[in-house]
Amino acid sequence: MELTEQQDEQLKSALQNNNNLNFNILKVIEENTELNEVLLKYLTKSPEHRPPISKIIEEAGDVFTRLAILIEHLESEEGVISRIDDKRSILYKYMVEEGNGTKIEVNKITPQV
């Protein structure tokens, strides 16, 4: 079910009024721990005992949701978006210069128009 804009605003308001910073941090840790557990099982279990990709997606969605709530609580959306851009630039630079087996060849990238 996708929330309407009004429902989303009601949810944000309720979360901000009822959940303090420590609670929101703990929820991020909890959800991230669940994602770590699923990822670890995916990597270490035999194929027939691995969790399905849908479980990874479910847990990643839970982490993203709780991170978004925390970021809203901290009123730091712009700072996080800026950091994401910075990190992607750092990763790109690393891939061009080092690559570690997955090097990006700059001359093969089509420039954006």
The per-residue pLDDT for range 19-49, each reduced to its tens digit, is: 999 999 999 999 999 999 999 999 999 999 9
Report d(CA 16, CA 70) in Å as an integer: 9
Rounded CA separation 108/21 (Å) = 46
Note whether 26 and 59 are same-domain residues.
yes
pTM, entire model: 0.78
Q: Are 95 and 102 in contact (CB under 8 A)?
A: yes
Q: Following DSSP, what letter does each residue of 57-100 receive, concatenated?
A: HHHHHHHHHHHHHHHHHHT-HHHHHHHHHHHHHHHHHHHHHT-T
Task: Choose the weakest-confidence range: 6-10, 65-69, 107-111.
Answer: 107-111
Statement: residue 104 has pLDDT above 70: no
**Domain extent at residue 110:** 80-113
Residue 45, in any domain of the structure: yes
- Are 112 and 60 in the same domain? no
Separation between Cα atoms, residue 92 and residue 109, nearest integer Å: 12
